[in-house]
Structure 1
């Protein structure tokens, strides 16, 4: 984009007072479309498909939602992945996993991430931060998934041959938890809409 196209209305933090914007002719905004594409690409490159996460959501929600389809779960995974907070967490976590694989981090961080040190906890902290905008259902579901590690989460956690998924397994649990919460709220909204229409 040509820098001439930038204006005061294209600031990093719209709504700030006149003299307190992050606008600069030397900075370009990253579009949400570019971030979404990067997240999808990063997950695929690490062996994670939307369908893999949708299967976890389906297993979690099927007991409470008769007639639930995998397509609905896919839709809610994609909806959760549209959240910037989650996108940013995914990009940061995957990048740290990649750097650890390439032995490009400084010690002792390199060893902590490479060995998925039990007391490290930053991987869970980032993933938990990403569930905060989806409420308490997402937070408790994340805790469950982090312990049980079903399906793709378990595969990522047990990856060998130099693969580092210290952050990725927790991030996938976060995505599944967020999508489950999103789905639960939308199903309730639909139920209430039907009830209000019938009364």
Structure 2
């Protein structure tokens, strides 16, 4: 990898022709893509709140939003979101070749690639995220269900599963952080 002198701040190149995409550009693209598809951070945070409030007294939507944002900062998840949304967009425009076009357009039950991408995105958040993803994929609460049932030329084959993945990841992240905080408090009180 070479770094060319005199280039704008943050611009790095692998060769004279290929510019490295910055983390900021990827994060901005993810935010814009979700917004364009009608998904807000708060929509996802509501799912996290419903999942975690039975286990965490005093849990707020703000804490859930913070954890969704933390999850969305992970590059692997950002890449999965961009790929999935792009495939949904291409299917809406009928730009995929057959039989892939029909599989994605109809959200064929045996297709499974949409779940595979979403499951890959939960892998860095552990078994809690994986099992929670399975639950959300089956139950399809709130925005996940709305995306799954949306018609009128919309294709959300990948997006509904990716939103389930984000919510599952944020729930796992939150559960681990709460446990870490509890252990710190217990440890500090034992030291006194």
TM-score if structure 2 supplies the norm length?
Answer: 0.93
Residue in 2 that maps onto 1:169? 160
The answer for the alignment partner of 1:20 in structure 2 is: none
Q: Does 1:74 align with 2:72?
A: no
Partner of 1:103: 94
Partner residue in 1 for 2:127: 136
Q: Which runs of 5+ in 2 are unaligned?
A: none
Mapped pair 1:182 → 2:136: no
Partner SS, residue 63 of structure 1: coil
Matched, 1:118 2:99: no
Aligned to 1:147: 138
| Aligned counterpart, 1:16 | none
Match of 2:151 among 145, 160, 166: 160
Cα RMSD after superposing both structures: 1.5
Instruction: Supply the distance in 1 between the matched residues of 2:82 and 2:6 (Cα, whole angstroms).
Output: 28
Query: Using the alignment, how far apart are the partners of 2:6 and 2:144 within structure 1?
Result: 44
Instruction: Indicate how the Cα distance of structure 1 residues 193 and 156 shifts in structure 2: closer, same or farther if over 3 A, else same.
Output: same
The answer to whether the aligner puts 1:63 opposite 2:54 as a matched pair is yes
Number of the residue aligned with 2:43: 52
Over residues 67-121 of structure 1, what are the superposed CA-to-partner deviations in whole Å (9 max), with x where a residue is unaligned? 1000000000000000001000000000000000000111111000000001100
Offset of residue 24 of structure 1? 1.8
* Corresponding position of 1:39: 30
Q: Give the number of equivalent residue pairs.
A: 185
Q: Which runs of 4+ in 1 moved over 2 A?
A: 2-6
Normalised by the size of structure 1, how large is the TM-score? 0.90
Instruction: Report the Cα offset of residue 4 of structure 1.
Output: 3.7
Q: Deviations over 1:35-91 (max 9, x none)?
A: 000000000000000000000000000000001000000000000000001000000
Partners of 2:114 and 2:103 in 1: CA distance: 11
Report the Cα distance in structure 2 between the residues aligned to 1:149 and 1:37, rounded to whole angstroms.
27
Please report how far the alpha carbon of residue 25 of structure 1 lies from its aligned counterpart in structure 2 after TM superposition. Answer: 2.4
Distance between the aligned counterparts of 1:41 and 1:179, measured in 2?
Answer: 20
Kindly indicate whether the alpha-carbon contact (under 8 Å) linking 2:148 and 2:156 is maintained by their aligned counterparts in 1.
Answer: yes
